[in-house]
Chain A
Amino acid sequence: MTTPTAVALEDAKVAFRLGDGRVYTAVEKAHLRVGQGEFVAIVGPTGCGKSTLLNVAAGLLKPAAGSVKIFDRPLVGLNRDAGYLFQADALFPWKTALDNVAIGLEIQGTPRAEALPQSQKWLTSVGLGAFAGRYPHMLSGGQRKRVALAQVLIRDPKILLMDEPFGPLDAQTRQVMGNLLLDLWNADRKAVLFVTHDLEEAIALADRVVIMSAGPSSRIIGDWRVSLPRPRDIFEVRLDKEFHALHREIWSVLKDEVMKGYAQSTHAAEAV
């Protein structure tokens, strides 16, 4: 493959200084490459540092060692080419859905009169055309995620970073959101880095699934290509034979890490 590289992490190491002066290494020697137009999912047990890795790609965190390159240029400060979809609610609670989406453009200097119709268009394309005047607290969790998605996409970022964006939603809503995401992504195929703990979700959505080991000092321990045909339907693709074979294969690796991660978190709890 010779597609240009959107995101490249080389030997990235992320460490935090703990309150008592010790240093906690979250991620060690992470090597990750996301090509332009490629949808990559990172899966790993709880606390393995997947979100940390995403924050490094976003420029919200600085790696302790190694390098981050965005379109072959070293990343300085925040990643301006990226849109970030957060796991927690990140909408501005004092703005209506319409204003929340329009703000992405207004920040760049687009006049409000131009930004609002575009915002309405994006709300319609995430299925919320009729909810433009609602404030975030008047929307359901799934609807808020849709607004957040529109807020990010209206800026037309070249890279999409997603941190378990559908984590807080119920199972059905997650699938609906997954299909919506795929539809929107199909339109212009941005580079996507999608963090999740749900292996099925990862396989159903992504072109590549990357597995991380349990933390601390977690590493990338596996990288699978998903060659299921596109466009995909998340409901249908789960019934596919290839899907099952791949799921079994990846799970055999992931399972051990999940058990390790689980054991560590219970030990940690006992120690406290």
Chain B
Amino acid sequence: MSRVTLLALQVLVAIICIALWQLLSTVPVFGKILLPPFFFSNPIDVFEQIVKWFASGVIWKHLWITLVESILAFVIGSLGGVLIGFWFARQPLVAAVFDPYVKMVNALPRVVLAPIFALWLGLGIWSKVALGVTLVFFIVFFNVYQGVKEVSRTVLDNGRMLGMSEGQLMRHVYWPSALSWMFSSLHTSVGFAVVGAVVGEYLGSAAGLGYLIQQAEGVFDVAGVFAGMFVLSAFVILIDFGVTLVERRLLVWRPAVDGRG
């Protein structure tokens, strides 16, 4: 299938969904409106809301806050994950001792941590960053740990026979291998950084996309909730696109998977 046809079909799906939504929320079927506007709003109102946000410029502040929180969460979580992942992989004893605790913390639904972070760090951006960090950290940590552990035996022996010292092995073998595993989980970890930020905002904040959605919900402004969701989706897609570009640049040495990249 050509790219143009594919794109056309993808757009068609959106048009059909939106048209159905508009129809069912305005035109009665057998004397009854299937999607009552109070609960489902309608595409035109949602669109108007989005336009209003952008026209007045309010949305930029919220987008900016969410972006900053996501980036901070991603950077801090990744740094921690890389350092600890490396440490554990090179020190099996440490890994063995901490193993049950790592599993325990990872099994915990992060949402329950949000109130604690709000208590500790206040309602500003840092409580949201902390929530994002707890999500990103584990993804990066597990990947780096795996990456260091799964370095090919032959490649390691080759490094040794070429005369590499432990430090050089670290730099030329362990490090690139761990990074490649980390990058392969880039989409997931960036996505979770955004999730952490938005959920944090939703549960208590004064700015951000999550805050916007929560505010609209508080006054039963369903159009506002949907508008917030759409802006959020577009935001995530844009970020994901950026990640794809970075990934292509960084993983050139990797064989292409299923013909992409």
Residues of A within 8 A of B (CB): 58, 60, 78-80, 82-84, 86, 88-96, 103-104, 107-108, 135-137, 151-152, 155
Determine whether the beta carbon of B176 is less than 8 Å from that of A94.
yes
Please, how many angstroms separate the alpha-carbon atoms of A270 and B196 in the complex?
55
Contact of B180 among A83, A94, A135 (CB under 8 A): A94
* Cβ contacts under 8 Å, A94 to chain B: 176-177, 180, 253
**How big is chain B's contact interface, by range?**
20 to 34
Determine whether the beta carbon of B161 is less than 8 Å from that of A78.
yes
Determine whether the beta carbon of B161 is less than 8 Å from that of A83.
yes
Among residues of A, the one whose C-beta sits closest to the C-beta of B173 is A92
CB distance from B139 to the nearest CB of A (A): 21
- Give per-residue flags for B240-261: 1 if the beta carbon is below 8 A from chain A beta carbons, else 0: 0000000000001111000000
10 additional A-B pairs beyond A84-B158, A103-B162, beta carbons within 8 Å, are A58-B161, A60-B157, A90-B157, A93-B253, A94-B180, A94-B253, A96-B253, A104-B163, A107-B163, A137-B254
- Give per-residue flags for B136-179: 1 if the beta carbon is below 8 A from chain A beta carbons, else 0: 00000000000000001011011111111000100011001100
CB distance from A140 to the nearest CB of B (A): 13
* Cβ contacts under 8 Å, B252 to chain A: 135
CB distance from A258 to the nearest CB of B (A): 26
Secondary structure dominating the interface of B = helix
* Cβ contacts under 8 Å, A90 to chain B: 152, 154-155, 157-158
Given the known interface contacts A135-B252, A135-B253, A137-B254, the answer about A92 and B161 at a Cβ–Cβ threshold of 8 Å is no
Residues of B within 8 A of A (CB): 152, 154-155, 157-164, 168, 172-173, 176-177, 180, 252-255
Determine whether the beta carbon of B163 is less than 8 Å from that of A86.
no
Please, how many angstroms separate the alpha-carbon atoms of A151 and B255 in the complex?
21
* Cβ contacts under 8 Å, A104 to chain B: 162-163
CB distance from A97 to the nearest CB of B (A): 11
Determine whether the beta carbon of B157 is less than 8 Å from that of A86.
yes
Between A and B, 26 residue pairs with Cβ closer than 8 Å are: A58-B161, A78-B161, A79-B161, A84-B157, A84-B158, A86-B154, A88-B154, A90-B155, A90-B157, A91-B158, A92-B159, A92-B173, A93-B253, A94-B180, A94-B253, A95-B253, A103-B172, A107-B162, A107-B163, A107-B164, A107-B168, A108-B163, A136-B253, A137-B253, A137-B255, A155-B162
Secondary structure dominating the interface of A = loop
Q: What are the 5 closest A-B residue pairs judged by CB atoms, nearest first?
A: A90-B158, A84-B161, A137-B255, A135-B253, A94-B176
Please, how many angstroms separate the alpha-carbon atoms of A103 and B161 in the complex?
12
* Cβ contacts under 8 Å, A91 to chain B: 155, 158
